Amino acid sequence: MRKIALSYQLSAQRERDTLIRNPLMDLLQAVRTEGSISGAARALDLSYRHVWGQLKTWEQTVGQALIVWERGQSAQLTPFADKLLWTERLAQARLAPQIEALRAELERTLALAFDEASHVLSLYASHDDALPLLLDHATTAQLHLDIRFCGSVDAIRALNEGRSVLAGFHVREKPAANSLAAQAYRHLLQPGQHKLIGFARRTQGLIVAPGNPLKIDSLRRAAHWRARFVNRALGTGTRVLLDELLAEAGLAAAQLSGYERNEPSHAAVAQAVASGSADVGLGTEASARKLGLGFVPLAHENYHLVCLKSALDQPAVRALRDLLAAPAWQALLAGVPGCEPQLSGKVLSLREALPWWDLPPRKTKA
């Protein structure tokens, strides 16, 4: 049983799409992608001798062969190395919310130590690929976002219980007044008490293998062919969306093979498909594109930030609103696959953005 030791680095700007780096996994990924030791060395900006020596050293450390060493043949990972790589990548994707929370807590502590003028703003939010990008960009405005990733429902509950100043949740672009989303969020959000802040419009759909070899173009097709599905957990906005889409297609949850299998993030769903342990899952386009996977769009969503009305003019919230409305941030957001600015930074009332409180008044008996 091999043991794990963790560490972290201080830098002016952290690398994007990086959780916890491990040199062995970097080597294996490079060999798998490039198909040769020399190609892996170029990709990692290392010498051939160094990469070859490191792989031999790692083979001794793990006690298993990692590379198929055949003269005249492209380098390939052994079945053990392939399984090791995909398992580690899936574990990191599953742990991404906790890793991001730990990193946010360390960065918050250091921000207060290095710059007493920085604003710190707590945010519980459903995961979106634009949020880590926003976290980095916010430092340009002396704003530190203490982001904790969780399901949409749990995020709003954290706001209502005073554990955060903001919450992030997502809902279909034109949700029906009697939708499952309305049932999930109506009792948590109250007109006059909460205010929405526009953030982004994004696309969710089916994440499939590259080239979509099973030709899965709908949930009905996935159910009919018994494709191995991977789901999100209860309390997440994506689980609510899936149940809505199933109801609209006239499908029962039990008809999806794997409905009961849950992953904690869009990244973990994409990683499960990339590893071959699942055929299809519902998630964001950005998560699919990041791993070179196929994507079948199913729904457009608005991702909102929400706060109490009394918090709108707090300095940190005001700084965030100004940042979201600025062209520099909106240009960055437009670069995220499947995302685009949508009233970013604008204050919205619940009645304007959602239809759930605009129902005609009930007739009273005479």
pLDDT in tens, 67-122: 887 766 677 889 898 888 888 888 888 777 777 777 777 776 776 666 665 678 99
* 82 found inside a domain: no
Please tell me the total count of domains within the chain.
2
Region of poorest pLDDT, from 12-26, 58-72, 208-222, 223-237: 12-26
pLDDT confidence bin for 359, thresholds 50/70/90: very low
* 359 found inside a domain: no
Quick one: 266 and 167 in the same domain? yes
Quick one: 112 and 258 in the same domain? yes
* 300 found inside a domain: yes
Quick one: 285 and 185 in the same domain? yes
* 214 found inside a domain: yes
pLDDT in tens, 242-289: 999 999 999 999 999 999 999 988 999 999 999 899 999 999 999 999
State which of 49, 77, 105 marks the end of a domain.
77
Shortest CA distance to 115 belongs to which of 142, 154, 85? 142
* 61 found inside a domain: yes
Range of the domain at 56: 23-77
Burial 290-318 (b: 16+ CB within 10 A, else e): bbebbbbebbbbbbbbbbbeebeeeebbe
CATH number, residue 27: 1.10.10.10
pLDDT in tens, 275-326: 899 999 999 999 999 999 999 999 999 999 999 999 999 999 999 999 999 9
pLDDT in tens, 1-20: 567 777 777 776 666 555 68
Provide the CB-side half-sphere exposure for 346 (13 A, CA).
13
* 167 found inside a domain: yes
CATH number, residue 329: 3.40.190.290
Quick one: 58 and 112 in the same domain? no
pLDDT above 70 coverage of the chain, percent: 91
Quick one: 159 and 302 in the same domain? yes
* 173 found inside a domain: yes
Report the amino acid identity of residue 52: W
Rounded Cα–Cα distance for residues 126 and 216 (Å): 26
Quick one: 100 and 138 in the same domain? yes
* 247 found inside a domain: yes
